[in-house]
Amino acid sequence: MNTAMSKVWLITGSARGLGRHIAEAALAAGHRLVATARDTSRLADLQARYGEQMRVAALDVTDAKAAQAAVQLALSAFGRLDVLVNNAGFGHIAPFEQTADEDFRAQIDANFYGVVNLTHAALPTMREQRSGHIINISSVGGRTGTPGLSAYQSAKWAVGGFTEVLAQEVTPLGIKVVSLEPGGMRTGWGDIAGSRLPELLADYQPTVGRLAEMLAAYVGKAAGDPVKVAQVVLGIADHDSPPAHLLLGSDALHYFESAEAVRTNAAAAWRTVSLSTDVDGHDPVPAFPLGEV
């Protein structure tokens, strides 16, 4: 391994699914890695294969102190941190009305505050280095709305907004921040998401029930290949000017474009109402340069 050419990665949720594929791809490419998971026994085979090229850390991403410790492990083992992949997360299907408060909050904590915790921990090092990539694994569900996924998609929308704002703050410091937004992938996500589906109230059967049926039929047939997505992640980590948002998969493009058309049409239809709230005679050009960094 040429350590002069390799980067130091930290990946959350490395034990299975997309996170596992990204970890394997990074190691195979010669990069050094801190692989984190709740259950580190699932990483024993990678540790045995790659030895000193990687470190393993037990991590609950909702624990801010544990996030700091994971970053410190990367620094003590490898001396720097070049790539943070915020991948850990989960979703459960249920109507919002039938989602327990603790389950809703748990999904927000893991899918959004996990990203916040790791990013908070990594930024001081990347800012000092004047370099780094923060890659947030979001979802096309962070650009669309789907009945039955209120907690999961609320968190993913938050990740997208957080990514845009943070990118504007830190791009001048040499740090790149990206939200990757895949569609369905063959990772088993649908099995887990549907594992706690409650007995639906009849009123939600045509919406949430239909989604659950579609996902059950979709298992093993998703368009997205996680091996190919992992290779995209490697490419993004070497890119000097990646986009703030990157949709991945034909289904992601389809669902996003459909949702965006609805939003664009609604904005046009209600444009007169939108403009009617300005102070009379006010210059309609925004005074603050939003999104211009």
- Domain coordinates in residue numbering, the chain: 8-268
Q: Is the CATH number 3.40.50.720 carried by domain 8-268?
A: yes
The answer to whether residues 33 and 23 touch, using CB atoms and an 8 Å cutoff, is yes
Active site residue 138: yes
Active site residue 179: no
How many other CB atoms sit within 10 Å of the CB of residue 161?
13
Q: pLDDT at position 289, please?
A: 60
Q: pLDDT at position 215, please?
A: 81
The distance of Cα 119 from the centroid of its chain, to the nearest Å, equals 12
Q: pLDDT at position 108, please?
A: 98
Share above pLDDT 70 across residues of the chain, in percent, rounded to a whole number: 93
How many other CB atoms sit within 10 Å of the CB of residue 47?
15
Element (H, E) at 86: strand 83-86
Active site residue 156: yes
CA 212, CA 86: separation in Å to the nearest integer?
A: 27
Mean pLDDT per 10-residue section of the chain, whose length is 293 residues: 80 96 98 97 97 98 98 98 97 95 97 99 99 98 95 98 98 98 76 70 95 80 87 98 96 95 98 92 69 53
The answer to whether residues 224 and 184 touch, using CB atoms and an 8 Å cutoff, is yes
Catalytic residue among 113, 152, 204, 255: 152
What is the reported pTM?
0.92
Q: pLDDT at position 197, please?
A: 83
The answer to whether residues 55 and 203 touch, using CB atoms and an 8 Å cutoff, is no
Q: pLDDT at position 2, please?
A: 60
Catalytic residue among 6, 156, 179, 255: 156
CA 271, CA 277: separation in Å to the nearest integer?
A: 11
Catalytic residue among 6, 14, 138, 154: 138
Q: pLDDT at position 25, please?
A: 98
